[in-house]
Amino acid sequence: MVRAVYPGNFDPVTLGHLDIIQRAARVVDELIIGIAANSSKTSFFTLEEREELLKIVTENFSNVTVKVFEGITVEFARENNAHLIIRGLRAVTDFESEMQIAQTNHTIDSELDTMFFTTSLNYAFLSSTIVKEVAFYGADISKFVPPAVMRAFQQKVELRERISAL
């Protein structure tokens, strides 16, 4: 049985992530999405919100689960008895850092391998950062994120407007 982990920040999950999840879920028996709790990046959505959104958008995949993890990916994989890490490659710019991370992980644990999925062309430009920037200026993000994420953005914006009106 092949069990894999797909680690990331998912702040928030985009259609690009979902594309990787969908394709990875077809080739492994079990896919565990891991939201990194100790990322150095400051997040827009809380861990709980990111977990909730990922659970909503993956609810139709019977072999996908969502977890939050602290510490290094290698430990997360070990704790879950997974020997495979899934990552997505968008552009050449991703390649160098992804290769470095994959080689480091494999050196720490030689039983652990990384499998890369190259992005579908229509999502090659897409990152959570870009989505947040576009959403910040009130533009339509329906081509970039699932409906549940759109609603989550709307709620944040409404909250911000209510606070600024106080």
Residues that bind ligand ADP (CB under 6 A): 8-10, 14, 16-17, 20, 87-88, 90, 94, 119, 123, 126-129
**Run of H or E including 153:** helix 147-164
- Which are the contacts of 72, defined by CB distance < 8 A and separation ≥ 6? 108
Tell me whether residue 30 or residue 94 sits nearer to ligand ADP (CB atom).
Answer: 94
Tell me whether residue 1 or residue 121 sits nearer to ligand ADP (CB atom).
Answer: 121
87 carries an active-site annotation: no
17 carries an active-site annotation: yes
User: Residue 11 CB: number of other CB atoms within 10 A?
Assistant: 23
Tell me whether residue 98 or residue 109 sits nearer to ligand ADP (CB atom).
Answer: 98
What are the angstrom distances between the C-alpha of 166 and each of 128, 137, 156, 159, 163?
A: 30, 21, 16, 11, 5
> Please, what is the minimum distance in Å from the beta carbon of residue 146 to ligand ADP?
13
41 carries an active-site annotation: yes
Active-site residues, by number, are 17, 41, 90, 128
